[in-house]
Amino acid sequence: MSALPDFARTRIGQRAIAGAVLLLAALFPLAFDSLATQMDVAIFVLAYVMMALGLNIVVGFAGLLDLGYVAFYAIGAYTIGWLASDHFTGIGGEKGIHVLVSDFVQTSLGIHVNFFLVLIAAMVIAAVLGALIGLPTLRLRGDYIAIVTLAFGEIIGRIALNGDEITFGEQQLTNGQQAISPVDQPFLPGAGYEFDSAFNLRPYYWTGLVLLCFTLFVNFRLRDSRLGRAWIALREDEVAAASMGVPLVRTKLLAYAAGAALGGIAGAFLGSYNNAINSNQFQFSFSIFVLAMVILGGMGSIWGVTAGAFALAVIDRYLIPEIFDDLPSTFGLDFQLTQLSFGIFGFLLVLIMILRPEGLFPERRRQMELTEGVGTDETVYEARM
Amino acid sequence: MFDNAMNAPSVPLGQRSAIVALRSFLGRYGLILALLVLPVVYGIQDLSNDGDLSRLGNNLVDGISNGAIWALIALGYTLVYGIIELINFAHGEVFMIGSFVAASFWGTLGLTLASGVPGLIVGLFVTLLVAMLTCASLNVMIERVAYRPLRNAPKLAALITAVGFSFILQNVGILWRGGSQQSVDNLIRQEQQVVEAFGVVISRGDLLAIGVTVPLVLVVTTFIARSRAGKAMRATAQDPEAARLMGINVDRTISLTFLLGGLLAGAAGLVYALYQTNVWYFQGFTAGLIAFTAAVMGGIGNLRGAVLGGLIIGCIQQISDNRIGGEWTPVVVFGYLILIMTFRPRGLLGEQTREAG
């Protein structure tokens, strides 16, 4: 290969490239109007990349195919809906409960907790739920895990949808298809600054970028940790890993919990930015969308997944709805391209799996597993022997 | 935890054997008990409210007809899983396409509510054949395009292409008939009563579902049990490598399996369209998961199990639709799915699979 990949392989080279990309990303909002469509797209892209990196821990590192990842998006989003909006008006009496919020929110009813505290709460709640969902899958392998996680994802989606029927006292659990809205804007208590998505998207963008950097940091540190090596060992050969002393239960549950925690943060961030938590956002197709990002980039490869998520998020939020939406009608066809977005992702999944199953930017180790048959992810024939 | 009871002298002998007996009892009959919860609870409620069981009886009749449709789909899952251990995730969508083909084809034939009985019977029979053949070719095509190239790849790769294909087919459905539920002609007037006994009504729709399912299931099981090709299928399911050595064309046998699954899905599609009198692109996703639950409940890979599971899940679904509310039915069904996968992955009748062990 050329000189550039060689440079990119060295430690300094990698850091230099990462630093340059980060700098570009940080300066990106200055090139656009503070309310430009591109800003809106970029914020979604950041959140989607975070979710893809979270799912990458479960699917890419630990090799547990999770088809219900949308559950953690939902949990994160509902955490902010519950803890930072007027939704639970009856709780906290006449005054409501307020923790470190702006003067503007101070007067409203319900529970209002500072955005940044809610992020931590979302992370913890999602992690606990992730481990709980992981519990029944511990004895299962392969596609059975996929189905159980899918079932959990669907159950949580259903609870979100029908949550307006679950009441305690006067309170509904969720608002179903009528969103929980508005949600409090993030507020920096020290600086006394409150975000306002109606006037300026830049603070949201930068917050998202900081969260994404945190997510990337967590991903790298986890991958190189003892736990990360245990995950990879588990992915390559569960039996061998167990006999080498890798505690299966703890390792698997931690993978689910870590992946879920990142999804919860991204969900809370996105819920706050959307300013509405609507049960329609949490459908199975979203799980597959995130999975497609991980697979496109290359399961287990952190930069690959970042790139894959970036590409799919831009396609989903920008290219399909903004640029190519009217493409079919220019050919005289009677539909919008947005109707087909999930068909396009499905097609992409099939194509990648058949042509380049290791993804666009595979991790070297994972590629070896696939091409040289390291690891015991059984093929269809071997499964029978 | 009770396995260590030998080391715990504080537990008297009689009590210990009682615990062991309870455990083995739950292991053997726990799933059956869990499945009986809904009918028994609501049966008791009916007895105390109405004094008879007619409401529950009607639920069960509707449940069995619904379950007959799920059974047809579940057979497709179980056949494919039995032979290549792949969850054919796109199977539900094949069934959906079957419904769409049926509804469009009888439109083309000119069948309407006004058609006479002989014309209707002949027309629907032709429609049935068309739907079955379309779905069979579709299923074979999917196998050829999406699964065969991955036969030596990790198993999860094929599952992912299956999911991808299910999305593609859903989008075909959206383009074909739009994104919302569409009602179709109630050609056979399915709700019309045929027999009533003790307040339990059997309608035309029930008869249709049973009348299509029972012969098809008998033909397919006989085919697999008796014919040469069926023998090849069973041999391939047991050991594809050895089957190949014995001169069986494994690729063709796998295609045949997908063909059978597709035929059954097509039939289910027609019955569903006539029975529910509406079709939409998302029906395949829900039906696919319910039928998959049925296949797992019966023991995946086991044909009789799939039919039994389909009928049971149909009844559970119907009771839940009628008593708890249709919007909660997926939660009930998936709850059972998780319970079964966790505590009894081999299902009611199945063997212990490697995957589950």
At A29 the pLDDT is 85
Average pLDDT, stretch A220-229?
Answer: 93
SS3 B203: strand
Handedness of CA B223, B228, B231, B233 (dihedral sign): negative
At A175 the pLDDT is 81
Tally helices (H) and strands (E) across chain A: 16, 6
pLDDT digits 0-9 by tens, B172-199: 998 888 878 888 888 777 778 778 788 7
- Please state whether the peptide bond connecting residue A29 to the residue before it is cis, i.e. omega within 30 degrees of 0: no
At A380 the pLDDT is 44
Question: Closest chain B residue to A349 measured between Cα atoms?
Answer: B164
Distance of CA B48 to the CA centre of its chain: 33
Distance of CA A9 to the CA centre of its chain: 27
What residues of B are in contact with residue A162 (Cβ under 8 Å)? Answer: 325, 327-328
Class of residue A207 by CB neighbours under 10 A (exposed 0-12, middle 13-18, buried 19+) = buried
Average pLDDT, stretch A49-74?
Answer: 93
Q: Any idea where the domains of chain A sit in the sequence?
A: 24-377
Please judge whether A349 and B167 are an interchain contact, meaning their C-beta atoms are less than 8 angstroms apart. yes
With vertex at residue B186, the alpha carbon angle to CA B184 and CA B190, rounded to the nearest 5 degrees, is 135
> Which of B156, B285, B313, B337 is the best substitution to test chain A (most A C-beta atoms within 10 A)?
B156
Please judge whether A136 and B289 are an interchain contact, meaning their C-beta atoms are less than 8 angstroms apart. no
At B294 the pLDDT is 92
Is the distance from CB of A354 to CB of B149 less than 8 angstroms?
yes
At B14 the pLDDT is 63
Instruction: Write the DSSP symbol of residue B176.
Output: H
Class of residue A296 by CB neighbours under 10 A (exposed 0-12, middle 13-18, buried 19+) = buried
Structure tokens belonging to residue B263: 């035929």
Taking 80 as the threshold, does the pLDDT of residue A105 lie above it? no
Band of residue A342 on the pLDDT scale cut at 50, 70, 90: confident
The Cα–Cα gap between A84 and A187 comes to 11
At A262 the pLDDT is 95
Structure tokens belonging to residue A115: 């955005």
pLDDT winner (highest mean) among A322-336, B165-179, B194-208: B165-179
At B119 the pLDDT is 83
Least confident piece of the model among A185-199, A304-318, B6-20: B6-20
Is the distance from CB of B275 to CB of B320 less than 8 angstroms?
no
At A27 the pLDDT is 86
Handedness of CA B303, B308, B313, B318 (dihedral sign): positive
Average pLDDT, stretch A210-215?
Answer: 94
**Contacts (Cβ under 8 Å, ≥6 apart) of B258:** B80, B88, B136, B139, B140, B142, B143
Please judge whether A379 and B166 are an interchain contact, meaning their C-beta atoms are less than 8 angstroms apart. no
Band of residue B86 on the pLDDT scale cut at 50, 70, 90: confident
pLDDT digits 0-9 by tens, A140-175: 877 788 888 999 999 999 999 988 888 877 778 888
Distances (CA, A) of A122 to A44, A79, A177, A206, A208: 18, 6, 21, 20, 15
> What is the enclosing helix (H) or strand (E) of A167?
strand A167-168
Nearest-by-Cβ selection for B167 from A343, A357, A381: A343
Q: Which residue has the tokens 């899940």?
A: B313
Structure tokens belonging to residue A151: 């079932």
At A265 the pLDDT is 95
Q: Which residue has the higher pLDDT, B111 or B308?
A: B308
Measure in Å the smallest separation between the Cα of B335 and chain A Cα atoms. 8
Structure tokens belonging to residue A26: 């940080």
CATH top-level class for B33-343? mainly alpha
Average pLDDT, stretch B151-168?
Answer: 85
Band of residue B2 on the pLDDT scale cut at 50, 70, 90: very low
Least confident piece of the model among A44-53, B179-188, B243-252, B282-291: B179-188
Is the distance from CB of A63 to CB of A377 less than 8 angstroms?
yes
Chain A neighbours among B 172-231 (CB < 8 Å)? 172, 174-175, 179
At B10 the pLDDT is 52
Average pLDDT taken over every residue of chain B: 86
Please judge whether B155 and A379 are an interchain contact, meaning their C-beta atoms are less than 8 angstroms apart. yes
The Cα–Cα gap between A358 and A234 comes to 18
At B13 the pLDDT is 58
What residues of A are in contact with residue B330 (Cβ under 8 Å)? Answer: 154-155, 158
Taking 50 as the threshold, does the pLDDT of residue A374 lie above it? no
Least confident piece of the model among A241-250, B114-123, B289-298: B114-123
Band of residue A384 on the pLDDT scale cut at 50, 70, 90: very low
Instruction: Write the DSSP symbol of residue A141.
Output: -
Band of residue B160 on the pLDDT scale cut at 50, 70, 90: confident
CATH classification for the domain delimited by A24-377, as one of 3.40.1440, 1.10.3470, 3.40.640, 1.10.10? 1.10.3470
Average pLDDT, stretch B313-324?
Answer: 90
**Closest C-alpha to B284, from B102, B92, B134, B97:** B92
Question: Closest chain A residue to B238 measured between Cα atoms?
Answer: A384
Taking 90 as the threshold, does the pLDDT of residue A231 lie above it? yes
pLDDT digits 0-9 by tens, B342-354: 888 888 886 544 3
What residues of B are in contact with residue A384 (Cβ under 8 Å)? Answer: 85, 238-241
Share of chain A above pLDDT 90, in %: 35
Taking 50 as the threshold, does the pLDDT of residue B17 lie above it? yes
Average pLDDT, stretch B275-294?
Answer: 90
Q: Which residue has the higher pLDDT, A348 or A95?
A: A348
Distance of CA A96 to the CA centre of its chain: 31
Taking 50 as the threshold, does the pLDDT of residue B15 lie above it? yes
Please judge whether B341 and A136 are an interchain contact, meaning their C-beta atoms are less than 8 angstroms apart. yes
Is the distance from CB of B72 to CB of B263 less than 8 angstroms?
no
Q: Is B168 on the interface with A (CB under 8 A)?
A: yes
Buried b (16+ CB within 10 A) or exposed e, B139-159: bbebbeebbbbbbebbbbbbb
Average pLDDT taken over every residue of chain A: 85
Helices (H), A135-279: 143-162, 202-223, 226-236, 238-243, 248-274
At A376 the pLDDT is 45
Measure in Å the smallest separation between the Cα of B202 and chain A Cα atoms. 32
Beta strand A111-113 with A97-99 is parallel
Distance, first Cα to last Cα, chain B: 19
**Closest C-alpha to B173, from B43, B81, B280, B86:** B280
